[in-house]
Amino acid sequence: MHRRFDNAEQWAKVFDDPARDAWQQPDRVIAALELSPAMTVADIGAGTGYFTMRLAKQVPRGQVIATDIEADMVRYLKERATREGVTNVRAEVTPPADPQLAEGSLDRVLVVDVWHHLGDRVAYAKALARGIKPDGRIAVVDFKLDAKQGPPKEHRLAPEAIIADFVAAGLEASVAPTELPDQYIVIARR
* Cα 23 to Cα 33: distance, rounded to the nearest angstrom: 18
Type of residue at 109: V
User: 137: domain CATH number?
Assistant: 3.40.50.150
3 located within any domain: no
Number of separate domains in the chain: 1
Could you report the per-residue pLDDT of 11-66, keeping only the tens digit for each?
A: 555 566 677 778 789 999 999 999 999 999 999 999 889 999 999 999 999 999 99
* Cα 15 to Cα 190: distance, rounded to the nearest angstrom: 31
180 located within any domain: yes
- Looking at per-residue pLDDT, the higher value among 129 and 24 belongs to 129
Residue 106 DSSP SS3 = strand
- Within a 10 A sphere around the Cβ of 78, how many other Cβ atoms? 16
1 located within any domain: no
Q: Is the pTM of this model over 0.85?
A: yes
Write down the pLDDT at residue 86: 97
Confidence of residue 170 (pLDDT cuts 50, 70, 90): very high
47 located within any domain: yes
- Strands of the 40-44 sheet, one edge to the other: 89-93, 63-68, 40-44, 106-112, 132-143, 183-189, 172-175
Confidence of residue 130 (pLDDT cuts 50, 70, 90): very high
156 located within any domain: yes
Q: Which domain range does residue 30 map to? A: 8-15+24-189
110 located within any domain: yes
Could you report the per-residue pLDDT of 77-125, keeping only the tens digit for each?
A: 999 999 999 999 999 999 999 999 999 999 999 999 999 999 999 999 9
Write down the pLDDT at residue 149: 87
Checking if the pLDDT of 3 tops 60, the result is no
What size, in residues, is the chain? 190
2 located within any domain: no
144 located within any domain: yes
> Which residues are CB-neighbours of 120 under 8 A, at least 6 positions away?
97
Write down the pLDDT at residue 1: 44
- Within a 10 A sphere around the Cβ of 127, how many other Cβ atoms? 18
